Structure formats: structure tokens, C-alpha cells
Amino acid sequence: MGAIPYGYDIAEDGSFVVVPEEAETVREIIANIAAGSTLYREAKRLNDLGLPSPGCKYKGRPRKHGRSWPHTTIRGIVHQRAYSGVHTVRLNGGEGGASLAERAVPA
């Protein structure tokens, strides 16, 4: 399993569960961008608030926060399919190289 999207954790049964504090930040980002904010403005807002950036999280490990919220992280959140209810993971191996696996997640 790859990195866990910001706003989620993995339950004992392997399903995604929502992390409420992180999910609220994701909702704010998406709502603000939809209302006309820019990636740069959102990054500045979150940095000014002093919120820890997503960094990365893997199953069974605590989230390792980054130093700041770059606009590229905001773009990644806006384009993350998991927030629409589907998480896609690229799997190695198999005929012809990597393949994709999708699973439902709480949106």
C-alpha cells in the first residue's frame, strides 16, 4: 500500500477511515478553490494559520508532516480522487508492468 491520502487513516480491517481534523482542512481547501481562491492563496492561508502540512503517512505509522504547505500540495489535494469516494493505487508487477487497483473510501 502506498501513502495514505491526507484526511484518512487505515482501520484494522484495512478500510479507510476519516480523520476529522484533517478532513475539515480538506473540505476548506476544496470549498475555497471552488469559490475562486488560488492554489497559492490557499497555501499561504494554511501556512499563516500554522497548520502542519500533510507530509506523508503509511499504514501503521504516524503522519510525518512536511515543513510547509506548497501550492503543489494544494493541487494534489484538489485532484485526489479519494475525496470523491474512490482511491486508486498503482500496483507493480503483472503482465505489461504496473496495473491499477481501485477501492471505495468514505468521501
In this predicted model, what pLDDT tens digit does every residue of 26-39 receive, in sequence order?
Answer: 999 999 999 999 99
Which of 9-18, 28-37, 62-71 is predicted with the least confidence, judged by mean pLDDT? 9-18
Q: Which residue has the cell 484533517?
A: 22
* Better-predicted residue by pLDDT, 54 or 104: 54
| CA contacts within 13 A on the Cβ side of 105 | 27
Give the pLDDT band (50/70/90) at residue 89. Answer: low
Closest by Cα among 50, 10, 17, 43 to 29: 43
Tell me the whole-structure pTM to 2 decimals: 0.79
Residue 58 has what pLDDT? 87
Q: What angle do CA 36, 53, 106 make, to 5 degrees?
A: 75
